[in-house]
Amino acid sequence: MKLSWIAATALMVSGATVQPGLAQISGMSSGPVTVAVKEITNTATGTWWWSPAVSSKLTGMLANELKSTGHFTVVERQGLKKVLGEQELAELGITRQATAPKKGIMTGAKYYILGSVSDYRENTETKSGGGGFNIMGFGQRKSSSSSSAYVAVDVRVVDTTTGEIAYVRTIEGKATSTSESKSTSGGLYGVGFSDSQSSSKKVPASKAVRAAMIEISEYLNCVLYLKNSCIAEYDSKEQRRREATKDVLDF
């Protein structure tokens, strides 16, 4: 709660201590952070669905997710093109660090967000199971299965005031489809019966990509705006991801 000027003055006169605001405690930015989202690229194999239109759609999706946090001002792609040529956009954060501060001032963006799809797989973590019972002619069986789609996006955040890469992170997204079935059968006095039920939840693989875009926006909200204990949580998540990746690598 904000104190009025009169109330704050009265507290200072009485010797009471005014507690600092939340932004002072956590290091939170005092206002929205201005960023520009470079068009997302793709380096993953097996992404038959990739196209320039998909790239543009994902870029817009990430920009929308950032805006929805209420903590970012996003420089639109067309506005960015007026200042930066396509070649400069491609090389930003790699070879054009000397011009980045000037360009950053011209676009008004404090950070440039660069993303690249580095891995995409469908039908991962497929699981199935079943069981049942039969007592005196009455029985029941159940079965279930699930399948997941997976995407990984490499994210780089370039500080336009220095031209240096301020943050790097690999963000993952998953979407899981499930199906279940149950059947009951039995008989009594020569009369038999059976009943079966099934249900499924088919989640499009594209949901994994959407999940990754949301996770990216939450990560950027953490490191660029909130700047609090969420950073340690993301560091722990990154460590778990790296450990899990090492477990499946075979050189």
Q: Answer with the residue of higher pLDDT: 145 or 238.
A: 238
| Residue 64, amino acid | N
Domains located in the chain, CATH noted: 25-136+150-174+212-240 (3.40.50.10610)
Biggest CA–CA distance in the chain, Å, is 94
pLDDT of residue 246: 73
DSSP code of residue 77: H
Cβ proximity of 223 and 157 under 8 Å: yes
The model's confidence at residue 193, banded by pLDDT at 50, 70 and 90, is: low
Mean predicted confidence (pLDDT) in 225-238: 94
Whether residue 238 contacts residue 215, with contact meaning beta carbons closer than 8 Å, is answered with no
How many whole angstroms separate alpha carbon 1 and alpha carbon 7?
12
| Predicted local confidence at residue 4, as pLDDT | 43
Q: 14: phi > 0 → left, psi -120 to 50 → alpha, else beta; which?
A: alpha
pTM: 0.69
Residues 90-103 have a mean pLDDT of 54
End-to-end alpha carbon distance in the chain: 57
CA distance 198 to 71: 44
The count of other CB atoms within 10 Å of the CB of residue 204 is 11
Query: Which tens digit of pLDDT belongs to each residue from 40-51?
Result: 999 998 888 899
E-strand spans in 9-59?
33-37, 41-42
Estimate to the nearest angstrom the gap between the alpha carbon of 41 and the chain centroid. 16
> What's the number of CA atoms in the CB half-sphere (13 Å) around residue 248?
6
Mind listing the pLDDT tens digit for each residue in 52-95? 999 999 999 999 999 999 999 998 765 555 555 544 555 554 44
Predicted local distance difference test score (pLDDT) of residue 198: 74
Residues 186-196, mean pLDDT to the nearest whole number: 65
